[in-house]
Amino acid sequence: MTETTNGASSALHKLKQHPLILLLVVLLLAGAGYTSYWLFQKTVTTSQKEQATEHARELATKLRSTTNHYLKERNQQLLSLAEKSLFTTAAASADMAQILSAEKLLLEWAPDFTGGYLITPGDQRLIDQQNFAGHYLAEKTLAGDLQSIAAARLGKEWQLLYSHPLKDQQGEIIGAMLGMESLQPLLDVLKPAVKENLGLTQLVQTMPKTKGATFVTTGNKSKALETIELKLEPANWSLRFTGSKVLLQSTEPSYEGFALFGSVLAVSTLVIIYLLLRLTLHFHVDKAPSPRAEKKTHLNPPATDPVNDSGKSFLDVIPGKGTTDTPVQEQEDRPEVTGSYPDVVFRDYDIRGIAGKQLTVDFAQQLGKALALRAIARGEHTLILGRDGRQSSEQLSEALEQGILSTGCHIIHLGLVPTPLLNFATHHLQQSDCGVMVTASHNPAEYNGFKMFFQHHAMCGEEVKSLRQEMSAEIPEKTPGERSQQDLSEDYLQAIISDIVPAQGLKVILDAGNGAAGELAIRLLEGIGCDVLPLYCDVDGTFPNHPPDPSVPANLEDLRLWVKEQNADLGIALDGDGDRILAISASGQIIWPDELLMIFARDVVSRHPGADVVFDIKSTRRLNSLISSYGGRPVMWKTGHSHMYNKIIESKAPLGGEFSGHIFFHDRWHGFDDGLYAAARLIEIMSIREQGL
């Protein structure tokens, strides 16, 4: 100990004779400190802002969807009224008394409207009322503009104006139906869509040679992020969303970049200082060396420094944040924690295995804990859960719940539902956009599994495989979270039914394979006007009639026979959790998913020219040329519903599909694979074209 102290004193004595070296050390430390601060600003602060901006973009997209949906419903309401003979007869009569009587009836049938008019050529009433915007809109309709919408300031308030043509029996335009409403109903829809304290929402209308007029402003005006502007379906309307300080502060920053670069900087600085001091001491020459020093120089090898007499590196005397009392050898000998969970169940795009053997109650509990911690790390404190009808699903779901709740994370349980309804909930509910589905999809009855969706992203690849190590770690328990139950089936059905053009009494045979989607799919198809004949639509987790995999021709044999026997227009087959679809034509021919994608692509690309259509490598090569011939851009992507879903969201493609039957709509729907919604869209196309498959 005395020898070590003497060596250190000698080293310090020598260093005092080199003030420039000491100054350089101080400058190096100061530079490292400044660089650390700069790195923090560049990595952590910038990362937080980027994540908050991305969240703001998601909120803006949700607001745009809400606004477009509201305007579409209002337009549809006026269109249905404009087609009634009562109003076309009044307009054709040119009798003002009859027109005024019809206008009074219009307001009774559309009580939300503040004004309603039947305008015929030469009618100057709106000019007399100084409603120039309404007059202009009606004139556009009379000139052949089939659907018009505008915002106008009438007096002290903004109002929304809708106009549709009134046509005689020959299809000639004889008048315009004009509906007016205040902004309040639109605000009542926008405010619940996104929490008001998260940002400022504005709707802007741009007219030729103007900068644009803001007619809706609501939310938090404490601007902290760049304004995001998205186009709305009225061509001259846009939505602007500016994230607030609340949104920025609620975003959890990422410290990974700072930790990486900061560690490199700290190690580099210490190494440079160490080498600098070693070289200084090594080449130091005393002006008057003491006899003891001369003796030491003679006894020790030339490369040995007095500071190092203790056998320790110079860096060992510098206290560090990571210093522990554990010997290095003991740390190296400690075995890596891997747990007993089978590696084979962690698949590329979900977790799947044999229930009771590979997927046990303990497995589900630990998975729940790991997923809850991931959600909390992303700023989410609630997980949405759903399960299919397999015999093991309820037990695994309960165990998953126990694990999640033990971390302090909350749960919204949807009960027995198809996977698309769980995905719908992550878009529909304000509390969370993270969900877990207990299902093995199309696999046999003895299997089960977990599909995981975090912030509109399906876990896949390394995200799934790394869960194995996280589940094996020690996860401390906290005050249990809260559990609530919600039934969103009606919300889900109404969202689809309101989006689909009603069918014309098509006879449809539905085979749900005794999976989770049967009862809901029947209600949906009946809701859009179909005559539904159910086949294997009761939930039975043993799948007594055939495995729940519609991609196997043998599993479609009963459906094919019944379609022909009942002279049905269409047969629809769904898988065990309702996210896959396959169709049967009236003649009993199997319409494979890539052929369905051709039908959907023609419809979607006609509305979105030049749009991307994503398909997997297993699909037919004909898709490439067909999509191009329709005016779309074919995009081939890797197989797997998670990979496809993430690609659809990332590229904002309005349509995508897999050969296995996963169809993704992102034009009027949310982008996830949904067999029920795909069935409704197929029936819509058949109804509009008035032809079979």
DSSP 322-372: T--SS-HHHHHHSPPP--S--GGGB-SSSEEEEBTTTB-HHHHHHHHHHHH
CB 387 within 8 A of CB 400: no
Task: Name the DSSP class of 662.
Answer: B
Please, which residues have CB within 8 angstroms of residue 653's CB and are 6 or more apart in sequence?
611, 612, 613, 614, 635, 647, 666
Please give the C-alpha separations between residue 627 and each of 155, 595, 620, 659, in angstroms, as whole numbers: 50, 12, 12, 16
Across the beta sheet with 157-167, what order do the strands follow?
115-119, 173-182, 157-167, 148-154
Is the CB of residue 114 less than 8 Å from the CB of residue 103?
A: no
Active site residue 472: no
Please indicate whether residue 629 is annotated as part of the active site. Answer: no
How far is residue 435's CA from residue 386's CA, in Å, rounded to a whole number? 8
How does strand 382-387 pair with strand 434-438? parallel
Is there a catalytic annotation at residue 606? no
Distance between CA atoms of residues 195 and 246, nearest Å: 10
List the strands of the sheet with 663-665, edge to edge.
633-637, 612-616, 655-657, 663-665
Mention every residue, 6+ apart, whose C-beta is less than 8 A from residue 355.
390, 391, 392, 396, 440, 446, 447, 448
Alpha helices, H only, 549-653: 557-565, 593-607, 622-630, 641-651
Specify the DSSP class assigned to residue 397: H
Residue 608 CA to residue 250 CA, distance in Å, equals 36
| Dihedral (Cα; 282, 285, 286, 292), 10-degree rounding | 60
Catalytic choice (74, 135, 352, 387): 352
* Active-site annotation holder among 432, 441, 489, 660: 441
CA 550 to chain centroid: 27
**Placement of tokens 């607030």 in the chain:** 244
237: left (phi over 0), alpha (psi -120 to 50) or beta: beta
How is residue 72 written in tokens? 């579409």
CA angle 604, 605, 611 (to 5 degrees): 115
Catalytic residue numbers, as ranges = 352, 441, 662
